[in-house]
Amino acid sequence: MALLEAEHLSIGYRTRKGLLRAVEDVSFSLEPGGSLGFVGESGCGKTTIGMALMGLLPANGSIFGGELRFKGQNLVGISDERLQKLRWKEIAMIFQAAMNALNPIQRVEDQIVEAIRHHEPEVSAAQAAERVSSLFSLVDLDPERSRDYPHQYSGGMKQRAIIAMALACRPDVIIADEPTTALDVIVQAQILAEIRRVQKEMDVAVLFISHDIAVVAEVCRHIAVMYAGQIVEQGTRKEVFETPAHPYTQALLDAYLTIEEENATLPRAMNGESPNLAAPPKGCRFYDRCPHADAQCRQEPPTWISLSPTHKVMCYGPRS
Amino acid sequence: MTMEIRRYILGRLFQITLIFFVILTVLFLLFRLAPGDPVSRMVDPNMTPEDAQRLIEQLGLDLPMWQQYLIYLENFLKGRFGISFHYGQPVSEIILNRLPNTILLFTSSILLAAFVGVFLGKIVSWKKGERIDTWVTIGALVCHTLFLPWLALIIIWVFAYWIGWFPLTGMISAEIWTDPSAGLLRKGLDIAHHMALPLITLFLIHFGSYLLVMRSSMLDTLREDYILTARAKGLDEATIRNRHAAPNAALPVITSVGLSLAFSINGGALTETVFTWPGLGRELVFAVSNNDYPLAQASFLLIAAVVLTANLVVDLLYAYLDPRIRY
Amino acid sequence: MTLCTKINRALLLIAVSVLWLCPPGWAETRQPLRIGLGEEPRTLNIWMASDANSNNILSQIYQPLYRHAPGETEMVPWLAAGPPEMAADGVTYQVRLRPARWSDGSAFTAADVAFTCRLIKEFKIPRHYSRWKFVDQIEAVDDRTVRFILKEPMAIFLTRSLTIPIVSEKEWREVAASARKQKKPLASLFNHTVKRPLGTGPFVLEKWHKGAYLHMKKNDLFFGQGLRIGGRLLGPFVEEILFKIYGTSDVAMLALKKGAIDMYWQGIQPGYIENLEQHPEIRIFSSERSALYYLGFNLRKPPFDDPALRRAAAMLVDKSFIIKRVLQGYGSRMDSIIPSGNEFWYNPNLTEYGEDLNREQRIRAAYRILKQAGYRWTQPPVDDSGKVQPAEGLRLPGGSLMESVTILTPPADYDPHRAISGLLIQQWLRQAGIPASSRPMAFGALLQQVKARHDFDAFILGYGRLSLDPDYLRIFFHSEFDRERGWNMSGYHNPEFDRIAEASEKTMDLEARRLRIYKMQEIIARDVPYLPIYLPREIEAVRTDRFTGWVQMLEGIGNIWSFCQLSPVN
Amino acid sequence: MKTGNEQRDAFAAPAGRREWLAGGWALFWENPIGKIGLILMACFALMAAASFVPPLLDPMYHPMHGVDPEISHATGPSAAHWLGTDFIGRDIFSQLLAGARIAFMVGLSAAFMSIFFGTLIGMISGYAGRFADTVLMRLADMVMVMPTLLVVLILSSLFGQLRIWTIVLLIALFRWPGVSRIIRSQTLTLKHRPFIEAARVAGASHLRIIFRHILPNVLPLAMLYMTFRVTSAIIIEAALAFLGFGDPGTVSWGMMLQWVWKTGHMFQAPYWLLPPGICISLLTLSFYMLGRAMEEVLDPRLRKEGESD
């Protein structure tokens, strides 16, 4: 039975201009120890899914359709107490803005110990501290530095500390929402290697969210490409990377410059903007930016076409 | 105490002494340039012109300005503030008698206002938009803008006269303090009994501003990422509010308390005058209207010193609470 | 910040317990006499004490040889056994002393009297020295008699010199000795802090808690105990007195109504009377005062150097309006420098400017005086048909336009009556075209400008406690006193007045001196260097439920006779 | 949601300003605090305007000299005197109206002057930097530490009774540090903005840059702080008058309270004690509310600096 399953999940934000349908009819599943990557432009709803999982949607956001099951239990409409027990014990999260994700006036070790002892009250302070230093060495941070304050850490060290905190209660799933965006490329590579190693060693399922398809491809076995609140293509890393079916996925891959090809042509810039989610178009949402769009795409919303047991795409004329 | 904080304190101390010295000099010049002198106040027809002239010489008011300044500085450094023209007593004696009363009333009212302001600000910001939030905020706004002397008069009228639970004026009741059988506790309670009304007045005026600063600072802090992390850690609302949001939000309140100290000293002087609380503020108002140079100068210097030291304490408290400054 | 919440709760707990714990009224075990003071006394040093409250306290301790008694013009012997014996040469006086003791038990002797008088002469102590300048020798003949030898016969010797407070040699000998060695002897004498004054009076100071109260106890060694002086049996019959300080008269009135004090030793505003009268246990005394509140002119420069303008101004000022409106009826109009309460010296038949005239008549009278003196207007205050109209463009007899004149008054918080009177006089003078404007000023600055620099047109000032001896008439108007810081502030020079004034100082015979004083008052009323305006009455309030026996005198009930005769009701 | 900087740039360009103002007004009016503040201030402005009427009706109603022929003591509200008379028979209602005029005049002019000083010094020290900056800021620290009321008290008692305009100037001289500190930090951020660099490259003189480019951007902020300065100016003038050091020539609310207090009518004449106190408190409340509402419109980020009285 899948660790995490979403069926026709729809999430929206109540705004002055009406209900903003940030996520529309999304279905996916995550196996224990598995890794699923969500990739897409900013504003395509990938972070909203992550927040919905943790029950951290802002006041005006809510799940208005579909189901979200974690270990068979539906998370939609769950009580606060249940949710608080679930958070960090079973689902942990790494945020994008590592710069001040840690409380600036509390020692880093105390913040991690707080998480541990909140969920496992029987653990003594000494044992918790001991666990923190082993976690620090796991993410190759010098345990001596655990007593320091967040402002004494570099960006990369902060992100490693957050990863350590995420692992503190041995969760089943870690949601990583653009963990490396704020870091420079070298540190980015180290952090990604870190996440991969940790996932293997601790057998933790990872749900990776990023706008950079290469980063996602490096960490996740399964990839889901999202556009304007919908998953437009889903499949294994190899399938989506090598045989992209949806024009948007192809555009994303073209935008990803590889240094191998000698005469790499500059990618065609995509014109047009993403649709208005408060009043989404009837047909395919990628219509006005899709080079192969035709009348049919405008009229009827496309349906799922599966290219292989694990690879499916939402588009009329798949052009591999 | 690491090197940074020691250097920080030394820097601040140097700055304070510099400011204090400038205030000292400006004050001296101010008093000497002004028309009118204490001797001219004596209206008694028996005071012949020769008497007046002799008195001026005795009080040293006829010396050239710079000479008076040197004597003034020398006396100041030796802790001798000169003799009050009005009371004929050494000024230091009067100040020693009055300063503790001002500090007692001033610090207790500021502390009480700060704690209640922070406490209520924290609670109210958590319930933003609800009825309690609008009512408490408007209440704080109204309290903060009440005209202090007028509020003091109303409080005396209602609580001291009409209901009659509290004494009308002063700091101690003569009956108790002259009664040999009165013990320390009874005398202490008597002071507290007299201090209740001025304390409430100052508290009402000040807690409003601290509440408003705390509330807006909390609203800002709630948008910070580490609050999201705290919530993601599954902590309950109360822990998030008290252990993560409030301490960070309280820091700007401390600076606001520091900045408004000079303003609250004004309030202190007004309260003391209306409640006849024998503090330095009231003494300054009298000394100023009696042209009593030494007492007015010394009272103002002491009040400036109280404000400066309070500012230093506030800065140190801020440095202590915020590690980003300490290391 | 759990630490912070813990402190929070602790503080709230304390605040609540304080409020809950304080029982409203404390048990009344003893019955002290409780007196409210308007302001904290300045000092216990008798030589420095120039404010009313210090003198109120010290007058219970230090006693004079002679003093005034209610209802008698002659001075009553107090520390002295009988009237002073004057020798034929008119300059030698001998005073016999009553048997008395200082409050520490040591004997009161003639040496103390001699010491005190020599102290005043040697240090030239302000306010007292001018009354002892003309005394040549002071000797203690024996323990109970003192001889004084004057340079020349002086009428004011009995009434002014022998009423100084006598201090004990024991208390002041070392202080005077060390003061003599200082660079500034008088200042060090002034700055000597007296902790417990040694006196011969009815009460002794027990404790002065600065900023709060003074506690006095009965002096068992008081010489007057059980004696009958000035026709009155003296006590004191009160064991203890508590003097409490009240910053504002409002709060003092509340204390009186609630019984926290038995008497408020300060004149109260007429505004309180109506409310106080509703309380049966409160009695209000309204007493005559020996005071003078007046409008002074500057005779040294135009326009007020012209007596006609001064008389016209005197005509315009509606004194009864001020008394009815500003003093709410608690006061009487003044037409002479000497207050009517001083019956013996007061000249009742002086010219009263504008007495019971209405507004129009007053303006017409002023118009006539100014027209005769040669003043012109572009638009006169009275038109040809005799109807009053707004006046404009007043021109001096010399032809030049009169510039605006300012009337300086103390600020409203110092004395609301004088500030308001200034405004009213400004309006009245403008009705006759005199461009006057009243400007309140800080009291110290006002005196500096008027008394020291003589830089003013007109001012409103007053003297609260004028001595019963009319010698101040000479000090105010004798040309000798028209100099910097001198009391002849208006710069009045009249040789005829000077001659009479010098003579009056030396006439020993009362009736002869009285005629001269009458003549001096007439001259001043004619030339109007000062225009006396009003004499406020001293309004005091007491509770009658605990103590009775207040003695009413000139200047009110706060006098030694009251404190010696006051007794508990039960 | 626009971040702070974008919002600031929005009103930098002229076209954006009209749109920003319209948007700002909507946001302001929606906020209940802003609405109450504006209504209260309008009432007091009406009172101040109406204060010229009573003396014209009948000289008896002149706040300072107008004395009722029949009444010569404090009486309760009556047909002739809506709020009763003071201790010598002057009409309290006309005094209240005159007090409104004085309060507005003192509040606005003192606030304007302190903002003028504050902005000037703030811009200069922010723009000039180095020596001028340290000197001016140390001066600001020194002035900020002084209790304004007590200082003005000392000055007013020393130099004789101050006229109302000297009091206004003195208040302004001691209320500018708060503003100059905020304006300085604002100027520092603006100094490195591209359009300032462009102006400097184009050869604009320092003065032109300060007044032509920095000032317009700093002005909305200065206006915001003006409202807070108005409140402290009114309070200080009233407190001064209450202690008896106000300008005796003018009838201000503080002066009325001083008369009530000093002439012994505090506990007998509520009709005389309550109105001035209520007016001072409500007027300061209205300006305070106005300030807070404007603050939310102008720039939520500013709240971090906090405003001190």
In a domain, A319, yes or no: no
Q: Is the pLDDT of residue B310 over 50?
A: yes
- Reported confidence tier of residue A156, pLDDT bands at 50, 70, 90: confident
- What are B53-83's pLDDT values in tens digits? 777 777 666 777 788 788 777 877 777 777 7
Write out the two tokens for A54: 């943790």
C442 touches chain D (CB under 8 A): yes
For range A27-38, the mean pLDDT: 88
- What are A58-75's pLDDT values in tens digits? 888 888 888 888 888 888
- The Cα of D101 is separated from the nearest Cα of chain C by a number of Å equal to 21
In a domain, A99, yes or no: yes
Out of B37, B45, B168, the one facing C254 most closely (by C-beta) is: B168
- The Cα of B118 is separated from the nearest Cα of chain A by a number of Å equal to 18
For range B181-198, the mean pLDDT: 89
Cα–Cα distance, D85 to D260 (Å, whole number): 11
A187 touches chain B (CB under 8 A): no
Neighbouring chains of B at 3+ CB pairs within 8 Å? A, C, D
Please tell me the predicted confidence (pLDDT) of residue D13.
46
Please name the residues in contact with C510: beta carbons below 8 A apart, sequence gap of 6 or more: none
Out of B88, B97, B247, the one facing C210 most closely (by C-beta) is: B97
Q: Which helix (H) or strand (E) holds C95?
A: strand C92-96
Percent of chain D with pLDDT over 70: 85
B220 touches chain D (CB under 8 A): yes
B266 touches chain C (CB under 8 A): no
Please tell me the predicted confidence (pLDDT) of residue C6.
58
For range A149-160, the mean pLDDT: 87
Higher-confidence position of C454 and D304: C454
Write out the two tokens for A276: 């208005």
B234 touches chain A (CB under 8 A): yes
Cα–Cα distance, A52 to B230 (Å, whole number): 16
- The Cα of B179 is separated from the nearest Cα of chain D by a number of Å equal to 31
Inter-chain residue contact C268 with D264, CB threshold 8 Å: yes
Q: Which chain C residues are within 8 Å of D64, Cβ to Cβ?
A: 423
Point out the residues of chain C with pLDDT beneath 50.
1, 18-28
In a domain, A33, yes or no: yes
Inter-chain residue contact A151 with B228, CB threshold 8 Å: no
D166 touches chain B (CB under 8 A): no
Q: Could you write out the DSSP letters of every residue in D273-297? A: HHHHHHHHHHHHHHHHHHHHHHHHH
- The Cα of C442 is separated from the nearest Cα of chain D by a number of Å equal to 5
Mutate to test the interface with A, among B226, B231, B251, B318 (most CBs of A within 10 A): B226
Closest chain B residue to the Cα of C35, Cα to Cα: B174
- What are C28-74's pLDDT values in tens digits? 456 889 999 988 888 899 988 888 889 999 999 999 999 888 877 78
In a domain, A320, yes or no: no
Write out the two tokens for B113: 């206002």
Burial per residue of C498-534, b for 16 or more beta-carbon CB atoms within 10 angstroms, e otherwise: bebbeebbebeeeeebbebbbbbbebbbebbbbbbbb
Number of domains composing chain A: 1
Query: What's the CATH code of the domain at A212?
Result: 3.40.50.300
Inter-chain residue contact B43 with C245, CB threshold 8 Å: no
Q: Is the pLDDT of residue D1 over 50?
A: no
Please tell me the predicted confidence (pLDDT) of residue D281.
93
- Reported confidence tier of residue A280, pLDDT bands at 50, 70, 90: confident
Question: Is A202 buried (19+), middle (13-18) or exposed (0-12) by CB count in 10 A?
Answer: middle
- What are D15-43's pLDDT values in tens digits? 556 666 776 777 777 778 888 889 999 99
Out of A83, A101, A151, the one facing B229 most closely (by C-beta) is: A101
Instruction: Evaluate the omega torsion of the peptide bond into residue A143 and state whether it is cis, within 30 degrees of 0.
Output: no
- What are B164-183's pLDDT values in tens digits? 888 888 888 888 888 888 88
Q: Which of these, C567, C321, A153, lies nearest to A162 by C-alpha position? A: A153
Q: Which chain D residues are within 8 Å of C431, Cβ to Cβ?
A: none
Out of D74, D157, D264, the one facing C442 most closely (by C-beta) is: D157
Inter-chain residue contact D149 with B269, CB threshold 8 Å: yes
Dihedral pair phi/psi, residue C144, rounded to 5°: -120, 10
D160 touches chain C (CB under 8 A): yes
Please tell me the predicted confidence (pLDDT) of residue A256.
65
For range D116-145, the mean pLDDT: 85
Out of D236, D257, D285, the one facing B150 most closely (by C-beta) is: D257
- What are A207-234's pLDDT values in tens digits? 998 888 888 888 888 899 888 888 888 8
For range A74-94, the mean pLDDT: 86
Instruction: Evaluate the omega torsion of the peptide bond into residue C236 and state whether it is cis, within 30 degrees of 0.
Output: yes
Q: Are strands C547-548 and C436-440 parallel, antiparallel or unpaired?
A: unpaired
Please tell me the predicted confidence (pLDDT) of residue A257.
59
Please tell me the predicted confidence (pLDDT) of residue C95.
92
Inter-chain residue contact B234 with A92, CB threshold 8 Å: no
Cα–Cα distance, C537 to B307 (Å, whole number): 46
Please name the residues in contact with C156: beta carbons below 8 A apart, sequence gap of 6 or more: C131, C469, C471, C505
Q: Is the pLDDT of residue D4 over 60?
A: no
Q: Could you write out the DSSP letters of every residue in D237-250? A: HHHHHHHT-S-TTS
- The Cα of D59 is separated from the nearest Cα of chain C by a number of Å equal to 12
On whether ipTM exceeds 0.85, the answer is no
∠ CA C441-C446-C449 to the nearest 5 degrees?
130
Higher-confidence position of B244 and D245: B244
Dihedral pair phi/psi, residue B284, rounded to 5°: -65, -45
Out of D150, D280, D284, the one facing B269 most closely (by C-beta) is: D150
- The Cα of C439 is separated from the nearest Cα of chain D by a number of Å equal to 8
Inter-chain residue contact B229 with A104, CB threshold 8 Å: no
Cα–Cα distance, D39 to B145 (Å, whole number): 17
Q: Is the pLDDT of residue B265 over 70?
A: yes
Question: Mean pLDDT in chain A?
Answer: 83
For range D49-54, the mean pLDDT: 86
Mark which residues 36-75 of D lie under 8 Å from B by CB. Answer: 36
Q: Which chain B residues are within 8 Å of A54, Cβ to Cβ?
A: 232
Inter-chain residue contact D262 with C413, CB threshold 8 Å: yes
In a domain, A122, yes or no: yes
Q: Is the pLDDT of residue D184 over 70?
A: yes
Residues, chain D = 309
- Reported confidence tier of residue A258, pLDDT bands at 50, 70, 90: low
Cα–Cα distance, D266 to D86 (Å, whole number): 11
Please tell me the predicted confidence (pLDDT) of residue D109.
92
Mutate to test the interface with B, among A78, A85, A106 (most CBs of B within 10 A): A106
pTM above 0.90, yes or no: no
A15 touches chain B (CB under 8 A): no
Closest chain A residue to the Cα of B251, Cα to Cα: A105
Mark which residues 199-238 of B lie under 8 Å from C by CB. Answer: none
> Which whole-number Å values give the CA distances from C123 to C116, C176, C180, C195, C197, in the listed order?
11, 9, 9, 22, 20
A89 touches chain B (CB under 8 A): yes
- The Cα of B77 is separated from the nearest Cα of chain C by a number of Å equal to 21
Please tell me the predicted confidence (pLDDT) of residue B44.
65
Mutate to test the interface with C, among B42, B43, B321 (most CBs of C within 10 A): B43
B248 touches chain A (CB under 8 A): yes
Inter-chain residue contact D73 with C271, CB threshold 8 Å: yes
Mark which residues 86-125 of D lie under 8 Å from C by CB. Answer: 87-89
Please tell me the predicted confidence (pLDDT) of residue C529.
92
Give me the domain span that covers residue A165.
Answer: 4-314
Cα–Cα distance, C531 to C335 (Å, whole number): 8
